[in-house]
Structure 1
Amino acid sequence: MDELMPRRVYGTDADEPHPGPRPGHVYRELCGGPLDGLLLDVTGWTETERATGAPLRTDIGRFGPGGHSVYRPRPADPARWDWQGDAR
């Protein structure tokens, strides 16, 4: 990771003045697939939600606008969520 350039959080626009992580928030790193390298803000999610993963809306996945990319926690490292595939 480039320490000089903060990582972007899923759901923020690349041209936002502060698209990176915010203090006091909890994040998961998205690994693989169209959202690779983004951080997902899971602040306020329950432990069950954090353990399950999520389908994340994205226009750059297999199904284009309105599609989702599914990410699940990595069993050996739940701070990283691995791409499982795309869905409508």
Structure 2
Amino acid sequence: MDEQIMRGRVYGADHDDPDPGPKPGHAYVELVGGPLDGLFLDVTGWSRQEREEGAALTTEIGQYGPGGRALYGPRPDDPGRFDWQGDTP
């Protein structure tokens, strides 16, 4: 696994987790921009269609506060990154 990924925090990891980084044998994409910038999203087991659709990720630090979601979609020229597309309630 890439050295940079080994140091990143995975979306959804507990704040108290002593090892919040990626786990061996899992597939990840990097979240770029928006409130979750720099986190990694575990896409292990996602189908090609699911990866093409992107994700609406719950976050308390987006435009809509607690319960809001940050929308991330795949970068066309880099399947290892999902770009922020905005927030939704």
> TM-score of the superposition, structure 2-length normalised?
0.91
2:81 corresponds in structure 1 to 80
Q: CA RMSD in A?
A: 1.4
1:26 corresponds in structure 2 to 27
Q: Would you identify which runs of 4 or more consecutive aligned residues in structure 1 move more than 3 Å?
A: none
Q: What CA distance in whole angstroms lies between the structure 1 residues aligned with 2:47 and 2:31?
A: 18
Larger helix percent:
2
1:6 aligns with 2:7: yes
Q: Which amino acid aligns with 1:50?
A: R
Q: Which amino acid aligns with 2:68?
A: G
**Count of residues in correspondence between the two structures:** 86
Percent of aligned pairs sharing the same letter: 63
1:67 corresponds in structure 2 to 68
How far the C-alpha of 1:19 sits from its partner, in A, is 0.2
Deviations 1:12-47 (A, max 9, x none): 123311100000000000000000000000001111
> TM-score of the superposition, structure 1-length normalised?
0.92
Is there any run of 5+ residues in structure 1 with no aligned partner, and where? none
